[in-house]
Amino acid sequence: MSVGVEPDLVFNVVWTGTAFTYLRYFVASQIAQSQARFRFVVNGCPPEQVALMEEMSRRHPDRIVEVLEVRDEMGAHGVALEAVRNQRDDGELFGLIDPDIKANAPFVPELAALLEEPCVAVSSATEVWSDTNAVPPGHPGVAGEHFFGEDGFVFGGPHLTLYRRDALDETCERWGVHLGSAGPELPEAAQARLTELLGRRFIVFDTGKIVNALLQADGGTVIHQDLPQIVHIGGMSHYLAPAQYITVEDGTEQPHWVDAPIVRDRYLVTRYTAGVLRALCDAERTPEVPDGVGPAMEAKMLTVRDEITDLIDTYRDW
């Protein structure tokens, strides 16, 4: 695929709660490091957040095509994206990108170049806290951070993805699925084909995973390709716009989904990133790396601190 399609590409960015206040700087980097355009998809945000999105859209009318409200109350990421697919046609490609991905250099051409037949979808952006992106043995579901099966099957990611729109529409129509399909509600034929394709039945799938699998069942290829010029924090919207917290042994509050080692790593990086981001935006002292996190986690947090400092220094006036 020619990289000349980049100016025609529209990335859909799903916003939830009050996350726009801080995460807009990440999207500013995406705009600055691409020729693509962006749609802000409102998924349960209060009016003052929508007003901030519209203000940014007015400042960059050539890059932000619209602020589209799809839900009054916060819903699943994939369901919000499916609402966009049903309401808008942006041409040859359907693009999506998370609002906590920082771009340090142009990134679209490398991904678009992979969309040569038979490739119908390409994803990117492994989370900075993740050391593995394969489904663990015996795991009952395919989470957002699981880009590969145990055998190397490519599930792709829900964070930064380019789809060939015709293939996406055809597969969704053929199997009665969509970007928000989670698993239990699937038509019997789709469930049977997934079980046959994957070798076992998974209980639940994150955004786009079912579609990505069935695209391959229909003869297409899905590629996951990480790029060094993008930094994906992962889970920031959950932290900046939380729905529910629990108090743990050390007295701190954590999102209710903190219940496994890989999720705890996610939480540690996300909490620290949010603290650094808030401090820099509010002109406060940035927090130090917490004691006792271990060398590997300390290195991740130091990387995050440097990236966020650069982000705000560069895009504060956006």
- Tell me how far apart the alpha carbons of residues 312 and 74 are, in angstroms, rounded to a whole number: 27
Does 137 score more than 80 pLDDT? yes
Does 15 score more than 90 pLDDT? yes
Q: What is the pLDDT of residues 156-199, one digit of tens each?
A: 999 999 999 999 999 999 999 999 999 999 999 999 999 999 99
Q: What is the pLDDT of residues 203-222, one digit of tens each?
A: 999 999 999 999 999 999 99
The share of the chain scoring above pLDDT 90, in percent, equals 74
Does 310 score more than 80 pLDDT? yes
Does 246 score more than 50 pLDDT? no
Banded model confidence at residue 44, pLDDT cuts 50, 70, 90: very high
- Tell me how far apart the alpha carbons of residues 106 and 99 are, in angstroms, rounded to a whole number: 16
| Structure confidence at residue 235 (pLDDT) | 75
Q: Evaluate whether 63 touches 31 at the Cβ level (below 8 Å).
A: yes
DSSP state of 136: P
Give strand pairing partners of 66.
39
Q: Quick one: average pLDDT of 11-36?
A: 96
Give strand pairing partners of 10.
37
Higher pLDDT, 75 or 15: 15
DSSP state of 185: T
| Structure confidence at residue 247 (pLDDT) | 46
Helices (H) and strands (E) in the chain, counts: 10, 13
| Structure confidence at residue 263 (pLDDT) | 57
Q: What are the extents of the domains in the chain?
A: 3-224, 235-315
- Tell me how far apart the alpha carbons of residues 113 and 115 are, in angstroms, rounded to a whole number: 5
Average pLDDT, the chain: 90
Q: Quick one: average pLDDT of 74-86?
A: 95
For 290-300, b where at least 16 C-beta lie within 10 A, e where not — what string?
eeebeeebeeb
The structure's pTM equals 0.91
Q: Could you write out the DSSP letters of every residue in 187-253? A: -HHHHHHHHHHHSS--SEE-TTHHHHHHHHHTT-EEEE---TTEEE--SHHHHHS-S-EEE-TTS-E
Topology (CATH) of 3-224: Spore Coat Polysaccharide Biosynthesis Protein SpsA; Chain A (3.90.550)
